[in-house]
Structure 1
Amino acid sequence: MTRTKKLLVAGLAIAVVIGTAYALRPKGSGTEVASPETATQSAAALTVAVLTPEKSVWPIEVQANGWLAAWQEVVISAQVGGQMITSINAEVGDTVAENALLSELSTGSLTNQIIQLEASVESAKASLELASADAERAQQLSGGSSISKQQAAEYFATERKAKADVQSSEAQLASAKLDLAHTKITAVTGGIISSRSAAIGNVVSAGQELFRMVRDGRVEWQAEVPLNQLRSIKVGMPVSIPTPIGDVSGAVRRIAPTASESNGRVIVYVSLTPPKGLETPKTGIMISGKFEVGSREALSVPSSAIVMQDGFSYVFTVNAGETNTVSRVRVETGRRQDDRIEITSDLPETAQIVQAGGAFLSDGSVVRVVPAEADTVATAPLVEGAAPASGAATTEVQK
């Protein structure tokens, strides 16, 4: 057999063996190229909740900043001078009642002055008695020739002067007694001591400030409101103010008649009503608050549905069809209430909004809507085949 014939026989034998092996292979065995659809189904998926926007009535609010200050500040000063402070009975932060004793001054010199003035009163009264007797005798003798009219007039004038001296002495005595009473520094009204400048041993002067009080312990919010928002605010309007001790409600008490020359804002005085069990807010704190000027309907979505990209706000909506997809929709936002945000741009009330996990989506992603009963949300990627959160209305992203 020639070399050419040998090669031909060997090739035929190899072909027969390969053909037999291919015919006898098990079905489905071997390497196959997966279709794009099959590859998509085996990819990782993100499970999120789907809901529709909610329409409800929300309050319209005006935001403002302002200081917490005393409703009325009471200054307690010394009404008598030249006396030394001998005791202090109140400290900063104390709540005191009306007429409560705050401090005492020395009384020695005033007591001696009173004794001296009492003696002056008695002397004046004695002079008055003598003058009255002379005037009465002059009255009896004025009809005869025993006394001239000029002498009678002098007796009558002396009596009037003696009466005036008595009144003057009594007035000086009363003034000295009043000064003695003023050595006891008392609260002219109830309230909270906010400052104290009195110190034991100091000699006070008349009119010197010793204590400062927050009248009745009432603190108000002095909000600075821009002129263009002032027209919405009325006396008696409710106000909500977050403070370091918790949220405090209040009402507009008064609106200032003039605007500030420095910033053009108008002061709105708000009376605060702290909840029971909470102490009065501290003064001197700058806080923000909200005036509730009305209400209107709002279309809102949970804050988790808002996705911030490139400085704009977006939501993802599910497009219904045989093959569901999601669309990225730019929206304008408005008011915020709890964990919901108002949508002010056009958005259908029936839109299917992805509640959370939008950061993992892209415009045009193909999704599969999975029906559910509750609003449980899964916000992390899930491997295909993993069960979604129990009771969640979900979409499964196919990347």
Structure 2
Amino acid sequence: MKLRHRLMTCIVVLGIAIFLMIWRLPSTSVPPVTEEKPVLSVEIISPQQNIVPQTIMANGNIMAWQEASIGTEANGLRLIDVKVNIGDTVKRGQLLSSFATDTIQAELVQSRATVSEATVALADAAANAQRAKLLKDTGAVSAQEIQQLINTERAAQARLDSALALEKIYQLKLKQTHILAPDDGVISARIATVGAVMPAGEELFRLIRHGRLEWRAEVAEADLIQLKVGQTATLTLSHGETIQGKLRRIAPVVDVQTRNALVYVDLVANPYVKMGMFAKGTFTIAQKNALTLPQSAVFIQDGFHFVLTVNASSRVQQIPVKIGQSFANQIEIIEGLTPLSQVIATGGGFLREGDLVRVLDSSTAHREVNHEF
């Protein structure tokens, strides 16, 4: 009995020791598997059939339709007043500047005195000639003397005509001391400076006639055959402003160096459009039906265009596409998709091939996508 009791005690002690050893060993349990979270919530859209305009691209400068040069005909006079500046709108006949008139006024007074003197001389010569003619038949005056008196009258008439012409010249010079606008328009340049003594022919101002501007665009010779007078042009300025115009004229000459020709487009008046601006533009030549997507759905990688789709496992797949023209935030899809294709509407720059995404339903798409961005 004692032997059995000792054996049982040893077994119990050994069991406790083994238990304590196992309890102190480090845990080797497998950690729980965590569920992968979607990278982004996305909205799915399909390509839509739209009317796509067929266009021709062009670049060029905005210039004045006609720019008038306003100069002076007066010579050696001092400019005493300038009434307009660059950007001012003027009317035909409006006074722009004035020259000093002192010299011209004095010369005009002198010419008028000469006219008076010539008038008196003519009257005296005419009276003498008339008396001689009356005495012709009496023999009191020889025929030679009569002819001399008649010639004297003619010379006096010529001197009077010359004096009158000189007076008219000075009157014209006096008128030329006032520089008037030759047409309605906008002052585009001012060279006139108060106090300057200007020679005849010197330019004082430049005027954009009627404030009318045009786009002088360069078009490749291969595209000229598709352009017609009256077609609509849409211009995009450097600051993003868009304006409309009508094709007025196509130049008859193609530049032998660039192989481009100039076309002239009349522009609708716009306060943001200035002479000298550079603009890119398109001419609408036709329209066609085509598949389109929002430009946000198409991205560029390594020089190629792609869209993103979602497979049955909610994983992103990348599909190459061939694009056409862009218009109104839409882009034409030529190859790679069908009307039944499902593509991610936006967020391509944040996703990669194989990323897990959550597809939003149409009722919450806009709200949740905007929240995540």
Name the TM-score, length of structure 1 as normaliser.
0.76
What is the deviation of 1:238?
Answer: 1.7
Q: In structure 1, list runs of 5 or more residues that go unmatched.
A: 1-5, 15-30, 383-388, 390-399
For each residue in 1:248-289, what CA deviation from the matched residue of structure 2 results, as whole angstroms up to 9, or x when unmatched?
Answer: 2221222222233442322222222135xxx25222222212
Indicate which of 28, 52, 67 corresponds to 1:58. Answer: 52
Whether 2:292 is the aligned partner of 1:297: answer: no
Indicate which of 121, 126, 130 corresponds to 1:136. Answer: 130
Inter-partner Cα distance in structure 1 for 2:180 and 2:148: 50
What is the deviation of 1:147?
Answer: 4.8
| Corresponding residue SS for 1:231 | helix
Inter-partner Cα distance in structure 1 for 2:46 and 2:240: 37
- The corresponding residue for 2:245 is 250
- The corresponding residue for 1:287 is 279
Instruction: State the one-letter code of the partner of 1:343.
Output: I
Inter-partner Cα distance in structure 2 for 1:332 and 1:245: 27
Whether 2:196 is the aligned partner of 1:210: answer: no
- The corresponding residue for 2:303 is 311
Indicate which of 215, 225, 234 corresponds to 1:240. Answer: 234
Q: 1:84 to 1:375 in 2, by over 3 A?
A: same
Whether 2:330 is the aligned partner of 1:360: answer: no
- The corresponding residue for 1:396 is none
1:380-399 equivalent positions in 2, closer than 5 A? none
| Alignment check: 8 A CA contact 1:245 1:281 kept | no
What is the deviation of 1:131?
Answer: 2.9
| Corresponding residue SS for 2:183 | coil
| Alignment check: 8 A CA contact 1:218 1:280 kept | no
Whether 2:335 is the aligned partner of 1:340: answer: no
- The corresponding residue for 2:106 is 112
- The corresponding residue for 1:263 is 258
Moved more, 349-358 or 333-342: 349-358
Output the aligned Cα RMSD.
3.6
1:9-20 equivalent positions in 2, closer than 5 A? none
Inter-partner Cα distance in structure 2 for 1:331 and 1:151: 111
Inter-partner Cα distance in structure 2 for 1:248 and 1:151: 84
Whether 2:36 is the aligned partner of 1:43: answer: yes
Percent of counterpart pairs with the same letter? 33
For each residue in 1:322-379, what CA deviation from the matched residue of structure 2 results, as whole angstroms up to 9, or x when unmatched?
Answer: x78765332111111233211112522122223234563537x898977544653756
Instruction: State the one-letter code of the partner of 2:341.
Output: A
| Alignment check: 8 A CA contact 1:333 1:342 kept | yes
Q: 1:334 to 1:377 in 2, by over 3 A?
A: farther
Q: 1:257 to 1:142 in 2, by over 3 A?
A: farther
For each residue in 1:293-343, what CA deviation from the matched residue of structure 2 results, as whole angstroms up to 9, or x when unmatched?
Answer: 2222221112232243333212234568xx787653321111112332111
| Corresponding residue SS for 1:176 | helix
What is the deviation of 1:222?
Answer: 1.4
Moved more, 132-141 or 180-189: 132-141
| Corresponding residue SS for 1:283 | coil
Indicate which of 101, 115, 122 corresponds to 2:116. Answer: 122
What is the deviation of 1:185?
Answer: 1.5
The count of aligned residue pairs is 351
What is the deviation of 1:117?
Answer: 0.8
Q: 1:196 to 1:152 in 2, by over 3 A?
A: same
